[in-house]
Amino acid sequence: MNRSSTNKKFTFIDLFAGIGGFHIALSELGGECVFAAEIDNHARRTYKENLISEKSKLNKNFVKDITKVNTSEIPDFDVLCAGFPCQPFSQAGFKKGFSETRGILFFNIVEIIKDKQPQAFFLENVSHLLKHGEGRTFETIERVLTKELGYSFYYSIVKASDFGLPQHRPRLFMVGFKDTGLKFEFPRPLPLKKNMSDILGGKCNKEIGFTLRVGGRGSGISDRRNWDTYLVDDKIVRLSSLEGLKLQGFPKNFKFTVSETQAMKQLGNSVAVPAIKAVAKNLVGLI
């Protein structure tokens, strides 16, 4: 895998790893993934196929269920990365600090940060998390990370289309540092250099495509829920995983050995690699 020109060496862990978007982005910046966790068997297969060789140290540190891992089993690392699920937080709580996150997957992130004290974290979630539970879920996340764990906290809604990919895909990115004196800035958006016509190989009816999703595939071009069908040279074309990989910014040699249905589901759950890399580059420059 190509390294970026920064040549900065650091270590990171990849939680709720999916098919490895964080792994690819941070590896290209000079990072070494020393631990990863993903519970879905199909996603694990794709991750291993593309990112873990038989001789890799990560082989023994690619766990399935993060809730069953003792933090002492995790190697020391510099950056925690996680595209964590937005499980419902207790509507009755929100004032108990660290203890209120027990029983939900965010707690595992908190526990690891608390015990391992990494230099930084980089979290990703759907943009709706800002408004979830009338804003109390996000308030809880920020408060636990800052007040309980003592880290700084920066956040922004970042679109894939801001960093070279012709799909909207707005996502909430959250970054924080153990050294609260560090001043982080999110990167400025870049001009779009390719559009859906480039992705689909013909004149497309949209310049920027729909956000890749998990459900509702094949609803049809006239359906308001449509996200995977376009008009290309006046013909109806449905996205395949090949175009999906391009829309998420995965390398050309990335491959799927799962069904097309599983491949599209995995892409819908994935992160946009160039957007992650752009933000991570600013993060890594501070540690």
**Residues identified as active-site:** 86
Nearest-Å Rg of the Cα atoms of the chain is 19
- CB-side neighbour CA atoms (13 Å) of 86: 18
Burial class (CB in 10 A: 0-12, 13-18, 19+), 91: exposed
Task: Count Cβ atoms within 10 A of the Cβ of residue 90 and give its class: 0-12 exposed, 13-18 middle, 19 or more buried.
Answer: middle
**Amino acid at the residue 149:** L
Number of alpha helices (DSSP H) and beta strands (DSSP E) in the chain: 8, 9
Which residue, 187, 219, 206, 188, is CA-closest to 247?
A: 206
- Environment class of 184 (CB within 10 Å of its CB; exposed 0-12, middle 13-18, buried 19+): middle
Q: Which of these, 98, 96, 100, lies nearest to 87 by C-alpha position? A: 100
Quote the tokens at residue 95.
């004032």
Between CA 192 and CA 200 the distance in angstroms is: 16
Which amino acid is it at 57? K
CA 260, CA 1: separation in Å to the nearest integer?
A: 25
Asked whether 169 and 127 are in contact (CB, 8 A), the reply is no
Axis-axis angle for helices 273-284, 21-28 (nearest 10):
50
